[in-house]
Each structure stands twice: as C-alpha cells, then as structure tokens.
C-alpha cells in the first residue's frame, strides 16, 4: 500500500497524488479542465454536486464560478489533498457515491446553505468503470427527492454514443432507454486520451443530461426498468421470445402483453422507441396486476 508521499506525482505540480487504477483515476490536464468547466457553464447562484473530484482540476474552477460545490470522493488521499487550501464554498465528502443516500446528499447541501427551492446541478469526470451505475444513481436520488436539474459528465465515448443513440441502431440499448426516459442528452465536447494523465485507452465525451419527469409516465418505474433490462439481454431475438426473459411477461403471456400494447411481436427489442417500451410496461402492469 503506497503512502500519501509515495503517491505524489512530482513531475507536474509537485503535490498531485498519483492515479489509482482501481478507482478509475485519469486526471484532466488543466487546459482541458477549463474547457469542461466552461461546458458545465456554472452560474454564480448554482450549487453543484461533483462526483469524483480527484485532485481538483474541475473542482476549484467550479467553486470559483458557482455558489458552492459538494464534492463526493472515494479516495481518502484525494480528500486530504483537496482539503489543503479548500475554499469555504467547497465541501469535500469522503464517500463512495454509489452508496450515498439522499439524506446524506441533502445534509451536504444544507451544510453549504443551498437554497431548498433551487435545484442543484451535477458535474464530474466520472470513473469509467462505474459510470453507468453513477448515472442510474442520479436517477435514484431524484426519485428519492433530491432536486437535480442536470448533469454535465465526462464519459467514455462509446457510453456517450449509447446515451445518444436512436432506436434501430447498434448502440441503442438499456442505457439509451432508461436514461432517455428521464432526461434529454446533448453532446458537449469530445476529448482525446491525451487530455488526461495517465491517458485512458479510450476516447472521451462530455455530455449534458437535463433531467425531466419520466416521459411518457409509466405505472411502475421498477417494472419498466426490469422489462427493458430483460428484453435487451436477448436483443437478437424477436420481441415475443425476448419477453420470455422477463418472468412477469412470461407468466402473463407474451402474446397478450404485446396485443394489449399494440406492438408486433416479430420486431426486435432494439427497434422499440421509449414510448413503445412504456406501453409494453403498462400493458404488463395491467395484466400482472403490478
Ligand atoms: N475530477 C478529477 C479530474 O477530472 O481530474 C478526477 C477524475 S477521475 C476520472 C475519477 C475520480 O472519481 C477519481 O478521483 C476517483 O477516485 C473517484 N471515484 C472513483 N469511484 C468513485 C466512487 N464510487 N465514488 C466517488 N468517487 C469515486
């Protein structure tokens, strides 16, 4: 286990800890960090949640432009590093963001005096190994009452492509449907591997997700999520067969569910729009009583 001193990278600013692979650490070079902060477009009365501040390439400029920043970081060494010279409007929370509760987020925001009537914003150069779970976590926090307006996040290019893809394309899948159901996604910036140290093996993209209530609304969000997950595990099959991957649909009768939703069972799952998935989910809800 390296000590804090062992991990200092003296080739750069002399104090920055070295990157840890297991936490998905790839640190932004300052010239690119500025572009990412500009893409987030912080206003003077915005309060941000930052996920994975690392040594603070985004954090410090964000805190300089926004009202306040609550930054959640899993790596204790990074937390210690960030505490040195921390501005007053920056709160560092040592926490695995995937395990954070809505109450903890609200508590952090209230410590920063965030106005309860104004939604918060999210920014982050996400650890790519857990980027999708972090996006789902944001949706979960919103469902639990944390008022998150939007998220400006760095993702692996392929993940951004999936978020932005249309039905019938190769990239269209679980992420496209479940995030697209609750947010509008825009591509803001593409970055080469050289924008980070150490450079990742993949290219990167910053997207903005502007959250909205589920569109269209569904009777059961849990059922909708489980159904989408299940049919995409058999995306090569026709829909009537893929539906068998979902226990509820199998027992309610795939043909009846499809009939009620008015969807042709010979289509492939990846051709269904978000609106059609919502219809399918509500038909299943009607027939299974869930
Ligand atoms: N924001 C910094 C930058 O742009 O240079 C660091 C970005 S680095 C790609 C991802 C950061 O997320 C790392 O600091 C890592 O320790 C942190 N991280 C990884 N998993 C995390 C988790 N589950 N919760 C909170 N932070 C996490």
What is the SS3 assignment for 250?
helix
46 against 6, higher pLDDT? 46
DSSP H or E stretch at residue 231: helix 221-232
Q: Please indicate whether residue 176, judged by its CB atom, sits closer than 6 Å to ligand 1.
A: no
The strand pairing partners of 207, in sequence order, are 153, 187
Alpha carbon distance 123, 49 (integer Å): 6
Q: Ligand 1 centroid vs 159 CA: distance in angstroms?
A: 17
Q: What is the pLDDT of residues 145-196, one digit of tens each?
A: 999 999 999 999 999 999 999 999 999 999 999 999 999 999 999 999 999 9
Q: Please indicate whether residue 28, judged by its CB atom, sits closer than 6 Å to ligand 1.
A: yes
Tell me the best of 9, 17, 74 to mutate to test the pocket of ligand 1, counting ligand atoms within 8 Å of each CB and taking the most. Answer: 74
Say whether pTM exceeds 0.85.
yes
What is the SS3 assignment for 141?
helix
Q: Ligand 1 centroid vs 199 CA: distance in angstroms?
A: 15
Q: What is the pLDDT of residues 209-250, one digit of tens each?
A: 999 999 999 999 999 999 999 999 998 999 999 999 888 887
Strands (E), the chain: 8-9, 16-17, 27-28, 47-51, 68-73, 90-94, 120-125, 148-156, 183-191, 196-197, 204-211
Position 15 scores a pLDDT of 60
106 token code pair: 């609200």
- Residue 234 in contact with residue 242, Cβ under 8 Å? yes
Q: What is the pLDDT of residues 49-104, one digit of tens each?
A: 999 999 999 999 999 999 999 999 999 999 999 999 999 999 999 999 999 999 99
- Residue 198 in contact with residue 26, Cβ under 8 Å? yes
Position 290 scores a pLDDT of 74
């Amino acid at each position: 286990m390296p000590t804090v001193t062992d991990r200092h990278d003296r080739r750069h600013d002399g104090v920055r800890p070295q990157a840890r692979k297991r936490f998905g650490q790839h640190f932004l070079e300052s010239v690119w960090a500025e572009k990412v902060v500009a893409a987030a477009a912080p206003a003077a009365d915005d309060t941000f949640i930052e996920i994975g501040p690392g040594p603070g390439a985004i954090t410090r400029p964000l805190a300089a432009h926004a009202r306040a920043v609550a930054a959640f970081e899993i790596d204790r060494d990074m937390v210690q590093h960030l505490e040195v010279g921390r501005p007053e409007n920056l709160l560092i929370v040592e926490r695995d963001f995937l395990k954070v509760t809505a109450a903890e987020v609200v508590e952090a925001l209230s410590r920063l005096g965030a106005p309860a009537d104004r939604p918060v914003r999210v920014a982050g150069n996400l650890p790519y190994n857990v980027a999708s779970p972090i996006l789902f976590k944001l949706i979960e926090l919103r469902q639990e009452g944390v008022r998150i307006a939007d998220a400006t996040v760095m993702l692996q290019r392929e993940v951004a492509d999936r978020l932005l893809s249309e039905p019938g394309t190769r990239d269209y899948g679980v992420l496209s449907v479940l995030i697209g159901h609750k947010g509008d996604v825009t591509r803001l910036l593409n970055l080469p591997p050289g924008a980070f140290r150490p450079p990742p093996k993949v290219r990167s993209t910053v997207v903005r997700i502007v959250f909205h209530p589920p569109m269209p609304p569904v009777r059961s969000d849990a059922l909708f999520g489980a159904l989408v997950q299940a049919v995409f595990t058999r995306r090569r099959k026709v829909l009537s067969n893929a539906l068998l991957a979902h226990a509820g649909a199998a027992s309610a009768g795939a043909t009846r569910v499809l009939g009620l939703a008015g969807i042709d069972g010979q289509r492939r799952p990846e051709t269904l729009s978000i609106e059609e998935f919502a219809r399918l989910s509500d038909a299943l809800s009607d027939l299974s009583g869930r």
